[in-house]
């Protein structure tokens, strides 16, 4: 632990983890192994939520996480009880993870990216610099969002998002290829989103056509389930 850092009681830190200078880790925080927190960070502080009543809540950070300079992570509220960050996550400088957020594994948040409360990021999500995410929004697995854009509705899996307002900009071909999705899987994902976003059908009709006309692989099922469970609507 570096100079002028404070770790309160009731904090658990795994093996081979480190904390830099001028960082505060608040009570109720669990940090996994091989996790490295750099300087001037605030981890597990109370939420920036006027409804917060001082209830005991927690912050959970996984293994092999890198948290760069001046990152802030707030603990949960009574609504969920915990803010959770998965394994192999990279939070670049000056990012903010608000109360009750859930981040999956292998997430990257570039500099100055900000999450509102209750945001959910799936596995392998990558958010470019300065991205702003509205509270309660959900981002599906393997999504890439370009820098400087806003997320105010849910973003379904496997796609690229860009523009103002944010819109579908193709599938995440490079990311999917790197992670072992074969050509047939990528083609089927692309066909699914061509129907959903670019066929001219209304979205209910497009979803029914996806169910009846396309092979129901695991990837297509996950897209359908994500869309049907969306509370904020799809971009």
Mean of pLDDT over the chain: 97
Q: What is the pLDDT of residues 29-41, one digit of tens each?
A: 999 999 999 999 9
* Relative orientation angle of helices 218-228 and 203-213, to the nearest 10 degrees: 160
Q: Domains, the chain, ranges and CATH?
A: 6-136 (2.160.10.10), 176-228 (1.20.1180.10)
Q: What is the pLDDT of residues 207-227, one digit of tens each?
A: 999 999 999 999 999 999 999
Locate 188 and state its tokens.
């089927």
Ramachandran region, residue 107 (left: φ > 0; alpha: ψ -120 to 50; beta: rest): beta
Locate 22 and state its tokens.
């001028």
Rg of the Cα atoms in the chain:
19
Q: CA-CA distance, 17 to 65, in Å (whole number)?
A: 9
pLDDT at 202: 94
Locate 98 and state its tokens.
């608000």
As annotated, the active-site residues are: 99-100, 117
Locate 100 and state its tokens.
């009750």
Residues of the chain with pLDDT under 70: none
Locate 166 and state its tokens.
């944010």
DSSP 46: P
Spell out the residues 6+ positions from residue 60 whose beta carbon is closer than 8 angstroms to its own: 29, 30, 82, 83, 84, 85
159-162 and 167-171 as β-strands: parallel, antiparallel, unpaired? antiparallel
- Backbone φ and ψ for 232, nearest 5 degrees, come out as -95, -5
pLDDT at 10: 96
Q: What is the pLDDT of residues 85-104, one digit of tens each?
A: 999 999 999 999 999 999 99
* Relative orientation angle of helices 183-198 and 203-213, to the nearest 10 degrees: 150
Q: CA-CA distance, 17 to 12, in Å (whole number)?
A: 11
Q: CA-CA distance, 79 to 155, in Å (whole number)?
A: 23
pLDDT at 220: 97
pLDDT at 158: 98
Q: CA-CA distance, 64 to 82, in Å (whole number)?
A: 20
pLDDT at 159: 98
Least Cα distance to 84 among 29, 20, 41 occurs for 29
* Number of other residues whose CB lies within 10 A of the CB of residue 229: 9
């Amino acid at each position: 632990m570096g100079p002028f850092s404070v770790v309160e009681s009731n904090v658990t830190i795994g093996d081979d983890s480190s904390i830099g200078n001028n960082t505060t880790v608040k009570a109720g925080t669990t940090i996994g192994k091989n996790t490295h927190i750099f300087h001037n960070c605030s981890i597990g502080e109370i939420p920036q939520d006027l409804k917060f009543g001082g209830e005991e809540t927690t912050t959970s950070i996984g293994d092999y996480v890198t948290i760069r300079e001046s990152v802030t992570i707030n603990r949960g509220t009574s609504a969920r009880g915990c803010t959770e960050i998965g394994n192999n996550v990279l939070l670049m400088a000056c990012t903010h993870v608000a109360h009750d957020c859930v981040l999956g594994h292998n997430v990257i948040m570039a500099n100055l990216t900000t999450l509102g409360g209750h945001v959910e990021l799936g596995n392998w999500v990558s958010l470019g610099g300065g991205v702003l995410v509205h509270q309660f929004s959900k981002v599906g697995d393997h999504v890439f969002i370009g820098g400087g854009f806003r997320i105010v509705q849910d973003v379904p899996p496997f796609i690229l998002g860009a523009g103002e307002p944010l819109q579908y900009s193709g599938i995440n071909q490079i990311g999917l290829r790197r992670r072992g999705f074969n050509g047939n899987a990528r083609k089927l994902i692309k066909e699914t989103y061509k129907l959903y976003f670019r066929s001219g059908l209304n979205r209910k009709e497009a979803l029914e056509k996806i169910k009846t006309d396309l092979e129901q692989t695991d990837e297509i099922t996950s897209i359908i389930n994500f869309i049907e469970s969306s509370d904020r609507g799809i971009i």
